[in-house]
Chains A and B, each alone.
Chain A
Amino acid sequence: MTIFEELQKAIIDGKAPLAKEITERGLKEGIKPHEFFPKAIVPAMDEVGRRMRECEFFIPEVLIAARAARAATDLLRPLLVGDESVKAAGTVVCGTVKGDLHDIGKNIVAMMLESAGFRIVDLGVDVPAEKIVDAVKQHNANFVALSALLTTTMVNMKGVIEAIAAAGLRDKVKVLVGGAPLTDAWAHSIGADGYGKDAPGAVELARKLVPAA
């Protein structure tokens, strides 16, 4: 088993201390920090997403895998600062919309996106549209990911999209939406760029919508 295969297995199995140890060993052996992402961390989390879709993994297994992936990325990120060859897949501003305090879905999507190489700016819960617009400007984001659990709050997603447009940023960001009461048709009707049915779906969608470099 190569060191990348070992790391993949540790992440899929949710073994954070082991993932850290393997990453440290790999670095000592001279593997470049940026190599771990495409060769181990991203494919491992893709496999976790696949297993979730197949109902082999449930949310706890996804969370322990994400924690193991983070044990590796926490070691690697400081080593990548200033490395121009490494770019985040995109910057995602995420949050639950105004009035909605339910963040479990949003947190899982954020973790999966982060493991897939996206930079996450998590604004938390009950986020007003103007705060999202400000964060897009400040972090030069190219994605906004909005979550809502309630039928009464999901309608606030439309207001966020309108605020983004009013700030002249609509062409700059792709808006992804998700949450239990949403449908693809509804997401389309409010002018979102995509609807993530679940966390792996959100990652798939974000990858598809990443603007060409």
Chain B
Amino acid sequence: MIPKERFLAALKRQPVDRVPLFDFLFQRPLFKEVIGRAPDAYNARDAMDLTVAMGLDSIWIPYSAPTAWKAEVISDRVYKDEWGTTFEKDEAAWPLDAPMAFPIRSREDLRHYTVPDPLADGRTNELHAAVVINQNLGDKAVAVMGSVKGPLTITWYLLGYEKICLTLYDDPEFLEELAEIAVDFALKMIPRIAATGVDAMIIANDYGASAQGLLKPAHFKTTYKPVLKKMVDGIKAQELPVFFHCCGCIRDYLDDLVEIGTDALHPLQRTAGMDLAAVKAKYGSRLCIIGNVDSSRTLPFGSPGQIEAETREALRIAAPGFGYILASDHSLHDGIPVKNILWMFDCARKYGTYSGQDLAA
């Protein structure tokens, strides 16, 4: 199987020759060491080269800011993005900067707020670039995934999480209005992204904290589940599989995420208590599972033996019956030694082959 076929088959829980490999390539030293250059900004060319060099089966390519748009620079380290959110550059969390201040504090602010144009020129430049590179890769072609941000993420950037928490009780309808802004933006963008020729779509939306969800299951059901369903339906209308990225402890929302039609769930954060065996047992017949190798303890600080054991354990639990993709439980972020990353994938290739070995043993 070529990487793209392997990844897409696994997303549908169909037979594959070996467990596919994926991760978010979130550290510049990895680029530098593997392909000899470290980009300032995450981009299609460098990320494609790194993905192929590492033998991964899929890649994430985000949509871009419009070509005509320029960030409002506040200082060397601080800027406003096109949504009006103030970010501070965060090398430790590259390529995701940290939101520091938010454009909307009230309904009055929203009345004067202009939502960015999802269809502005330049949005899909990097996606186009990745798809074109991929078309020339022949039997090394990978699955290219576009992405949209989910309603809680967009609302977080507009309002901040603490204000969201208070607004859940003070004015829940206001949150529903903001969630609709997020879904309108995504639904306009999804066909545009699909038209570039991507193979799958990520909905990126964290709902988990380190020991429980970010909000009560009842709040998730009323405020976010209906708009997430619209996003899933919008992606399915383009005949693309839905890869749901949701960090943290999200066990309370799994039934709902499966019910709305999610095809694959990433990253089952081990350190947030996501139990791979329990998720596989309960949802393995309906959901492709991606991730679970500990990126905050084992990968940064573990010995080769510990990394091998944990990778093998994830494969033993989740690979039988297909529908598992190996990845870390968050991202390959700064602070994880490059040799540990490469070793995890070496182990996955060694122990994740379906022919000639019993993966459950």
Chain A positions within 8 Å of B, measured between CB atoms, are 14, 52, 55, 58-61, 63-64, 67, 99-102, 104-105, 107, 126, 150-153, 180-181, 183, 197-198
Q: Which of A61, A63, A153, A181 interacts with B216 by CB under 8 Å?
A: A61
- With A151-B296, A183-B297: A63-B162 Cβ-Cβ less than 8 Å: yes
Residues of A with C-beta under 8 A to B233 = none
A55:B212 contact, CB within 8 angstroms: yes
- With A59-B215, A101-B88, A150-B335: A107-B162 Cβ-Cβ less than 8 Å: yes
B219 close to A (CB within 8 Å): yes
Q: How far is the CA of A103 from the CA of B265 in the complex (A)?
A: 27
- With A152-B334, A180-B272: A101-B216 Cβ-Cβ less than 8 Å: no
B162:A152 contact, CB within 8 angstroms: no
- With A150-B335, A151-B333: A59-B300 Cβ-Cβ less than 8 Å: no
User: Number of B residues contacting the other chain (C-beta, 8 Å)?
Assistant: 35
- With A151-B333, A181-B271, A181-B297: A58-B92 Cβ-Cβ less than 8 Å: no
B335:A180 contact, CB within 8 angstroms: no
8 closest cross-chain pairs (CB), A and B = A152-B335, A101-B98, A60-B165, A181-B296, A151-B335, A63-B165, A180-B210, A152-B92
Q: Determine chain B's interface SS by DSSP, over half rule.
A: mixed
Residues of A with C-beta under 8 A to B333 = 150-152
> Could you show 29 A-B contacts with beta carbons less than 8 Å apart?
A52-B212, A58-B214, A59-B165, A60-B164, A60-B165, A60-B168, A60-B215, A60-B219, A63-B162, A63-B165, A63-B166, A64-B169, A67-B166, A99-B91, A99-B92, A101-B90, A101-B93, A104-B162, A107-B162, A150-B92, A150-B93, A151-B295, A151-B300, A151-B336, A152-B335, A180-B271, A181-B271, A197-B211, A198-B211
Q: Which of A58, A102, A197 interacts with B215 by CB under 8 Å?
A: A58
* Contacts beyond the supplied A126-B88, A181-B296: 9 A-B pairs with Cβ under 8 Å: A55-B212, A55-B252, A58-B212, A60-B166, A99-B91, A150-B334, A151-B296, A151-B297, A151-B333
B209 close to A (CB within 8 Å): yes
Q: How far is the CA of A101 from the CA of B161 in the complex (A)?
A: 14
**Distance to closest chain A CB from B39 (angstroms):** 19
Chain B positions within 8 Å of A, measured between CB atoms, are 88, 90-93, 98, 100, 161-162, 164-166, 168-169, 209-216, 219, 252, 271-272, 295-297, 300-301, 333-336
Residues of B with C-beta under 8 A to A60 = 164-166, 168-169, 215-216, 219
Residues of B with C-beta under 8 A to A107 = 162
Q: Name the CB-closest residue of A to B163.
A: A63
A102:B98 contact, CB within 8 angstroms: yes
Q: How far is the CA of A91 from the CA of B241 in the complex (A)?
A: 53
Q: Name the CB-closest residue of A to B269.
A: A180
Residues of A with C-beta under 8 A to B296 = 151, 180-181
Most chain B CB inside 10 Å of its own CB: which residue of A59, A99, A100: A59
**Distance to closest chain A CB from B172 (angstroms):** 10
Q: How far is the CA of A194 from the CA of B272 in the complex (A)?
A: 20
**Distance to closest chain B CB from A202 (angstroms):** 13
**Distance to closest chain A CB from B90 (angstroms):** 5
Q: Name the CB-closest residue of B to A107.
A: B162
**Distance to closest chain A CB from B148 (angstroms):** 23
**Distance to closest chain A CB from B120 (angstroms):** 28
Residues of B with C-beta under 8 A to A105 = 210
Residues of A with C-beta under 8 A to B92 = 99-100, 150, 152-153
**Distance to closest chain A CB from B107 (angstroms):** 19
Q: Name the CB-closest residue of A to B168.
A: A60
Residues of B with C-beta under 8 A to A126 = 88
Residues of B with C-beta under 8 A to A59 = 165, 209, 214-215
